[in-house]
Structure 1
Amino acid sequence: MGFFSISQIHLRFAFKLATAIVLALFVGFHFQLETPRWAVLTAALVAAGPAFAAGGEPYSGAIRYRGMLRIIGTFIGCFAALAIIILLIRAPLLMLIVCCIWAGFCTWVSSLVRVENSYAWGLSGYTALIIVITIQKAPLLTPQFAVERCSEIVIGIMCAIVADLLFSPRSVKQEIDKELEEIVVDHYRLMQLCIAHSSREEVDKAWSDLLRRTNALNGMRSNLKMESSRWDKATRRLNVIHSLSLTMITQAAETFLIQNTRPEAVPSEFRYLFELPVDSAADVHRRLKLMRRVISISGDDTPVTIYTWVGSATRFLLLKRGVNANTKISAVEEEVLNGEPVVKPVSAERHHAMINFWRTSVSCILGTLFWLWTGWTSGSGAMVMIAVVTSLAMRLPNPRMVCLDFVYGMLMALPLGALYFLFIIPSTQQSMLLLCLSLAILGFFIGIQVQKRMLGSMATLAGTINIIVLDNPMKFDFNFFLDNALGQLVGVVLAMIVISVIRDNSREQTGQNILNQLMSAAVSSLTTNVVRRKENHLPALYQQLFLLLNKFPGDIARFRLALNLIIAHQRLRDAPVPVNDELSAFHRQLRRTADRITSSSNNFRRRESFQRLLRELAIYQQKLEKWDAPLSVTEPVRRLTEMLNKYQHALTESYS
């Protein structure tokens, strides 16, 4: 019963994957492509990849976006291969080694760019290696092979997109509307907990859940942007809603922390207003109207955290209505949308990226030496699989599990591919209809398993299509088939060995880099520069915090430190710092010292720079008193200094 119910849920995508494979196969043979398998393999991977990542049928636009990334990555790889061949054609061994280093470089870049764009760089690395390996016997045919490969891949991608459109992909818009309705209520409930000063564990749970949902909402925005240009106005609004949501989370958390030392910080009228329960966005809207009236009466007596939270929530609801209706952007909305320029985050995974570079480069070079030393005809296939596995696995949280997935997939592809190669395809060779039907059945059943994220399902699909060798004309040489299958298996095993030997010890260092970057952002927010004060760093800071959540699940102390640093940044950014040349010069000195901490390569220099920063912050507090800075400036600076003193060990000691 369970199997049939799950199959019915995933049935549409299974038909979609089967259609993509059949279309690519039919077009490949109809236009007499030399290697139709590249088109079929591309169509299968472009369609199945997003489904495996989503754990179900991907939203509309995901397959098209992945297809565009594959086209970009293929063209970059082809141009790189042509350049390497032209420069090093007279030194074949050096040419192969340089190509292995290129694959490592692409993996390094893919580890630093946004996750959704990393696929293109990983693909470009092993595309160049495939071309260089394939043309070893006929280097003069390189341009022809590059053009053919690009053409076959584009055909496969177009087939996947056509299949996606035929089976009416689901839109993410309904999910976004539903999530917006619920998330604004959860924001209100988080603020209720913070004003009531509930237990820290309860607040932590509500805060982390809301942060994850905000991050997921931003991912939905990316899917909506890929879906259609008609959602451009909605995606603009959602981009600002993401920043507003992070601002509300920050203000709620700061309201909770302030009451640790000053329980009277929240006036009684606001405590009463936030005691009223809410069940819908309409209820939140009514409460906000009451709060704005109270704020207009209270004036300067309103706590800045509540004032900012109410303003952000009001703008949130304004933009939410625009997203729901997807109407023309009004003048008021335009003012909100153009409010603050968003700063892009700086990657904290530089050490992790370098380890990925060495893993890919070393494994590919070892595969090259193994191929040349043994002279095995399928050693080239093993090399390709090494490059594919290491390039695609490195960006994921658990590369060893990805390698294990490939090993299981290749083991399952061996008997499945043998069944097709020895019995099914020879029996259907005289009928294009039967050939298409046989591969459609393969795509259909694997399409169901891919959506369940069954271990080895993606690799089984790719490995089976690759080893049945859909060439034009077809040749049924069992020795060639067996060599090809064993080459794939040996390649993934070698890749797994290299990844196991070259251990990734970057976790602690990445965590410390994130904390140091958050600390530097808090210190750098001390400025009188109008342009710098208008910059919105919250999305970048929370992206770093979310990476910290993934790297250290359950480490509450580290999360609280990171959140405190983000709160300090936001409060100091809005603080009315006195404007004069002496303070401006000291701000620059503080930023230089903070930058030295983040760029320090060893613990001794980091500790030395950190102690200097603490001394400078003590001097800075004296300067603020000299220039009669208000409490809204001196208090957050004092809190930041105390926090850095308390957590200096966590911010300066490396455990890598």
Structure 2
Amino acid sequence: MGILAIAPQHLRFAFKLSTAVVLALFVGFHFNLETPRWAVLTAAIVASGPAFAAGGEPWSGAIRYRGMLRIIGTFIGSIAALVLIIVMIRAPGLMLLVCCLWAGFCTWVSSLVKVENSYAWGLAGYTALIIIITIQPDPLLTPQFALERCSEIVVGIVSAIVADLLFSPRSIKHEIDRELDALLVEQYRLMQLCVAPADGEDVDAAWGNLVRRTAGLEGMRSNLNIESSRWASANRRLKAINTLSLTLITQACETMLVQKARPDAVSDTFRELFAEPVETATDVHRRLKRMRRVLVWTGERDTPETVYTWIGAATRFLLLKRGVIGNTRITGVEEAILDEEVVIKPVSAERHHAMVNFWRTTVSCALGVLFWLWTGWTSGNGAIVMIAVVTALAMRLPNPRMVALDFVYGMLVALPLGAFYFLVIMPATQQSMLLLCISLAVMAFFIGIEVQKRRLGSMGALAGTINILVLDNPMTFHFNQFLDSALGQLVGTLLAFVVIVVIRDNSRERTGRTLLNQFVSAAVSAMTTNKARRKENHLPALYQQLFLLLNKFPGDVAKFRLALNLIIAHQRLRTAPVPVNADLSAFHRQLRNTADRVIAASSDDKRRRNFKQLLDELEIYQQKLHLWSAPVQVTESVQRLTVMLHKYQHALTDS
């Protein structure tokens, strides 16, 4: 009954994982690979990793993309290992320590790049360490070992991809279509709350939910992009929809601020229009048609700019949404929307966090190397490999300690499970390839179900059990070697866990302050007369940073409101008609340089001095705006930004 209950959610992927493991095992032995274990382990990790992250069967393309990253990471790591051996072959001890630095460097890079690409860099770090440790008795075999390892990994990846295709992977397109409709309805409801205006807590909950859903839709777009090339047009539209969704959120929240300053800013006509409830995207479409008719009658001058901009962005959202759902050819009108602005990529605010990750990986690997050299333990190399694997894979995730704990629990499970297979199952199947495949398929099937439930220890148990089983060619059964390898895995994961606990990540507050200062810098940089700079769209980057702030400080409403106000200030200043002249242009560059120095300051004292200088320059800038007869729209926006920075200067400068 338990298996039948989970059939709709988990059984198909469990069969998929079993097929990938069996296919890699069969191909590895059929072509007489030196260590088919690597092919089986690769197939299991490539297939199960996305399932563990998704909490169910991964979407189409996820396994292929992870496999591609694994190939890239393996080749980078193999090349790095060859270079290190060629340069430092005469000093093997020093070469091992330099390789630990390489593993730390790769972890540092993986902490700064996009999350979906970090796997390749983490893999590159510990691949080099695996190769250098394995060839210590005979370094001249390095090219051969690196080539064998790459070929075995390619076999495992191809096996995982074939298994994925055999079991008809799920397309995320239908989920995207449903989410687009739901997102448009939620955007309209947020605008209803802001026009009313509703209670602040209700608005905070609504916009926080929309920020998360918009970020989730962007993640879905990434999955759709790697699923198939036939979704190229839909992918382009979804990129623009991401910007439009963030624009709708910003304009809605700014409408609420305008309402608080001037309660009569929104006319009764629009209040009545927004007061009508909506249930579906079709309802929103009807309301937008009525609002556009009202705009034609009343004109833009009698409508608040935020409401007018919101209606325009919602109309473009609706147009692109239809194109995504139908996956039709992009029209001329859509092309104009898609090419309207240049989207700017965000700058990482987690540099201190990345440095902590560097030291965690480097120190733990170096301790493992020193322990191995000091004791001479035959399985010390296995412990070093597990240290590198755990630290490289754990650092990029939100909770590295829990990831390391997952590996510890997994290795504790792998010890008795692996012993059962090693002592009972595998000797009994020694004469039958079919029985060996069936036995491993059964194990992968049940662990695959647990992986989808995100059971603590499931991923570690799968990788650890396969790693300690004798799946070499030819197979030998020496219990001492098995026990040594299992204990090496367990000691390595425990040492990695201890290092992660001891070297604490104290970067949370610093990252939060850096994020807030980046919002300040974005608002300041919006004050420009450069046409190319004014066309730059920073909104996706700013909201990506805001989403990171939400994850770092869940429940801190004050930080969220400050960040949102700074994003609103950025958008307001970006469209403000700043007078064009050389004096103001030169002062804009000065303001941007000062804002950059605030972010780059290495101490609180320097940060306070630079921030005070920025406030003084903003006062001078306001005088220059009056001197050059800037419109009220510009002077009021700059004044509001200055008042906001004065009010929150301690939160923006103190640790």
Q: TM-score range by the shorter chain?
A: over 0.9
Aligned runs of 1:47-66 on 2, under 5 Å? 47-66=47-66
**What's 2:175 paired with?**
175
Q: Mapping of 1:61-140 within 5 angstroms?
A: 61-140=61-140
Cα drift, residue 299 of structure 1: 2.4
1:315 match: 316
Residue 143 of structure 1 corresponds to which residue in structure 2? Answer: 143
Post-superposition offset of 1:8: 4.3
Query: Which piece of structure 1 moves more, 185-194 or 573-582?
Result: 573-582
Q: How does 1:394-409 map to 2 (within 5 A)?
A: 394-409=395-410
Inter-partner Cα distance in structure 1 for 2:458 and 2:383 = 20
The answer to whether 1:27 aligns with 2:27 is yes
Q: Distance in 2 between matches of 1:588 and 1:265?
A: 35
User: Aligned equivalents of 1:8 and 1:426: distance in 2?
Assistant: 35
CA contact (8 A) 1:7 1:448 kept: no
Match in the other structure for 1:10? 10
Q: Partner of 2:412 in structure 1?
A: 411
Distance 2:264 2:619 in 1: 28
Unpaired runs of at least 5, structure 2: none
Shift of 1:4: 3.7
Q: Does 2:378 correspond to 1:374?
A: no
List aligned pairs for 1:421-440, cutoff 5 A: 421-440=422-441
The answer as to 2:340 corresponding to 1:339 is yes
2:564 alignment partner AA = L
In structure 2, the partner of 1:215 is 215
Match of 1:39 in 2: 39
Deviations 1:72-114 (A, max 9, x none): 0000000000000000000000100010000000000000000
- Describe how 1:443-454 pairs up with structure 2 within 5 A: 443-454=444-455
Task: Give 3-state SS (helix, strand or coil) of 1:352's partner.
Answer: helix
Q: CA deviation at 1:580?
A: 1.3
Instruction: Quote the offset at 1:469 in angstroms.
Output: 2.2
- 2:353 maps to a residue whose letter is H
Are 1:153 and 2:140 counterparts? no
User: Pairwise mapping of residues 539-618 of structure 1 onto structure 2 (< 5 A)?
Assistant: 539-618=540-619
Deviation per CA, 1:158-181, whole angstroms, max 9, x where unpaired? Answer: 000000000001100000000001
CA contact (8 A) 2:59 2:172 kept: yes
Offset at residue 152 of structure 1 (A): 0.2
Measure the CA separation in 2 of the matches of 1:645 and 1:182: 39
Alignment deviations for residues 589-614 of structure 1 (CA, whole Å, 9 cap, x no partner): 11111111111111111111111111
CA distance in 2, matches of 1:173, 1:463: 35
Q: How does 1:217-296 map to 2 (within 5 A)?
A: 217-296=217-296
Q: Secondary structure of the equivalent of 1:505?
A: coil
What is the letter of the counterpart of residue 341 of structure 1?
V
Q: How far apart in 1 are the matches of 2:196 and 2:638? A: 26
Whether the 8 Å CA contact 2:528–2:534 is kept in 1: the answer is yes
Q: Deviations over 1:579-635 (max 9, x none)?
A: 111111111111111111111111111111111111111111122122222222112
Deviation at 1:269, TM superposition (A): 1.6
What is the alpha-carbon distance in structure 1 between the residues aligned to residue 550 and residue 210 of structure 2?
13
Deviations 1:114-156 (A, max 9, x none): 0000000000000000000000001111000000000000000
Which residues of structure 1 form unaligned runs of 5+?
A: none
Aligned partner of 2:492 in structure 1 is 491
- What amino acid is aligned across from residue 251 of structure 1 in structure 2? Q
1:462 aligns with 2:448: no
Cα distance in 2 for residues equivalent to 1:382 and 1:40: 20
- Inter-partner Cα distance in structure 1 for 2:258 and 2:477: 75
Which residue is 1:298 aligned to? Answer: 299
**Which residue of structure 2 lines up, in the alignment, with residue 189 of structure 1?**
189
Indicate conservation of the 8 Å contact 2:24/2:159, yes or no: yes
**Shift of residue 257, structure 1, vs aligned partner:** 1.2
Q: Match of 1:363?
A: 364
Maintained 8 Å contact 2:349/2:511: yes
Taking the aligned partners of 2:201 and 2:176, their CA distance within structure 1 comes to 29
The structural deviation recorded for 1:6 is 2.2
Deviations 1:208-266 (A, max 9, x none): 01111110000000000111000011011001000000000000011011222211221
Q: Is the 2:518–2:599 contact (alpha carbons within 8 Å) kept by the matching residues of 1?
A: yes
Aligned to 1:635: 636
CA shift for structure 1 position 292: 1.6
Specify the code of the residue in structure 2 equivalent to 1:377: T
**Identity level (%):** 74
Deviation at 1:301, TM superposition (A): 2.3
Residues in 2 aligned to 1:267 and 1:432: alpha-carbon distance in whole angstroms: 78
Letter in 1 for 2:188: Y
Tell me if 1:329 matches 2:330. yes
Contact in 1 for aligned 2:103/2:122 (Cα 8 Å): yes
Amino acid at match of 2:357: N
Aligned residue type for 1:414: L
Counterpart CA distance in 2 for 1:509 and 1:361 is 22
Contact 1:514–1:544 at 8 Å: present in 2 too?
yes
Which region of structure 1 is more displaced relative to structure 2, 408-417 or 253-262?
A: 253-262
Find the counterpart in structure 1 of residue 421 from structure 2. Answer: 420
Deviations 1:526-579 (A, max 9, x none): 001000000000000000000000000000001100111111001100111111
Give, in whole Å, the separation in 1 of the partners of 2:460 and 2:8: 23
Contact map agreement 1:103 1:126 (CA 8 A) in 2: yes
In terms of mean alpha carbon deviation, does 426-435 or 273-282 score higher? 273-282
Taking the aligned partners of 1:463 and 1:328, their CA distance within structure 2 comes to 49
Residue type at the aligned position of 1:118: S
Distance (whole Å) between structure 2 residues aligned to residue 341 and residue 99 of structure 1: 40
Once the two structures are TM-superposed, the CA of residue 636 in structure 1 deviates from its matched residue by: 1.3
Q: Any conservation in 1 of the 2:523–2:566 contact (CA below 8 Å)?
A: yes
Aligned CA RMSD, in angstroms, stands at 0.8
Read off the aligned partner of 2:487 and give its amino acid letter.
L
Alpha-carbon distance between aligned partners in 1 of 2:9 and 2:537, rounded to the nearest angstrom: 42
Deviates more, 1:632-641 or 1:543-552: 632-641
Deviations 1:513-536 (A, max 9, x none): 000011000011000100000000
Q: Contact 2:526–2:534 at 8 Å: present in 1 too?
A: yes
- Structure 2 counterpart SS, 1:265: coil
Distance in 2 separating the partners of 1:585 and 1:265? 36
Contact 2:9 2:57 (C-alpha < 8 Å) held by counterparts: no
Amino acid at match of 1:554: G
User: C-alpha distance in 1, partners of 2:75/2:573?
Assistant: 46
Aligned length: 654
State the alpha-carbon separation in 1 of the partners of residues 583 and 283 from structure 2.
49
Alignment CA distance shift 1:8-1:266 (3 Å): closer
- What is the rounded CA distance, in whole Å, between the counterparts of 1:380 and 1:195 in structure 2? 64
Q: Which amino acid aligns with 1:202?
A: D
Measured in 1, the distance between the counterparts of 2:578 and 2:335 equals 29
How far, CA to CA, are the matches of 1:550 and 1:399 in structure 2?
A: 15
**Whole-angstrom distance in 2 between the partners of 1:2 and 1:417:** 25
Over residues 5-58 of structure 1, what are the superposed CA-to-partner deviations in whole Å (9 max), with x where a residue is unaligned? 124420000000000000000000000001000000000000000000000000
Check the 8 A contact 1:81/1:131 in 2, yes or no.
yes
TM-score, normalization: structure 2? Answer: 0.99
- Output the CA distance in 2 between the equivalents of 1:262 and 1:581: 35
| 82-91 vs 588-597, greater mean Cα deviation | 588-597
* Distance (Å, rounded) in 1 between the aligned partners of 2:647 and 2:4: 57
